[in-house]
Chains A and B, each alone.
Chain A
């Protein structure tokens, strides 16, 4: 599975847009990019997944450039409740079929301040 690199931590303020970038230089042709969110004392929660260009849902947007060597998770107008760890994963799914396992990196600790 492709290795990912994310910032260890980020700080923001309520109402701002937050962009978390993930590098995945060795992404394979069939790999998808998936982001999870984890609150303290809870299991991770699936946020969004994409293959190329842009994907948007009710929670976030995912921007993927043409070379797919990086991706950016965008959280619009964050609130205090968005304080969490955000994980970028590459691989694990291809064309909608799961490979059966997820490999997590360290993740990015996002802290939203009042």
Chain B
């Protein structure tokens, strides 16, 4: 089924560990983004990409790295996990020139850092 696929769905990390959250889309969308959502809060933009090889920072980029080597994939890397990064992470993608169709979001990755 077409859409945005995020893996893993759940993850527990120890403080200081590193990991990569995977995001893949099969809709040939140019734009992809990563958000985090904390309890009782809206979504905050971490990083986004307007095409392969192009990334930029959002509101809360510290502690996270991204790269976009292909149109389909946009992984999010946590270099040294901290308890403050405990959150639900959402990946989203959209067309550039058909922006009126909105963004498609993945089902999320629930991350706990202990």
Contacts and interface: CB of A to CB of B under 8 A. Distances in A.
Given A36-B102, A42-B108, A43-B105, A104 B42 contact: yes
Contacts of B96: 97-98, 100
Contact of A103 (B4, B45, B104): B45
A2 interface: no
A93 to B, nearest CB: 4
Interface residues of B, number: 32
Contacts, number: 77
A105 interface: yes
Interface stretch (A12-20, A44-52, A66-74, A75-83): A44-52
Contacts of B87: none
A99 B65 CA distance: 21
A114 interface: no
Q: Which secondary structure dominates chain A's binding surface?
A: loop
A43 B41 CA distance: 14
Interface string B39-83: 001111100111000001011000000000000000000000000
B2 interface: no
Nearest to A92: B99
B103 to A, nearest CB: 6
A102 interface: yes
Contacts of B105: 42-45
- The residue in A41, A87, A100, A106 that gathers the most chain B C-beta atoms within 10 A of its C-beta is A100
Complex A-B, nearest 8 residue pairs according to Cβ-Cβ distance, in ascending order: A46-B102, A43-B105, A98-B99, A93-B99, A104-B43, A104-B42, A100-B50, A101-B48
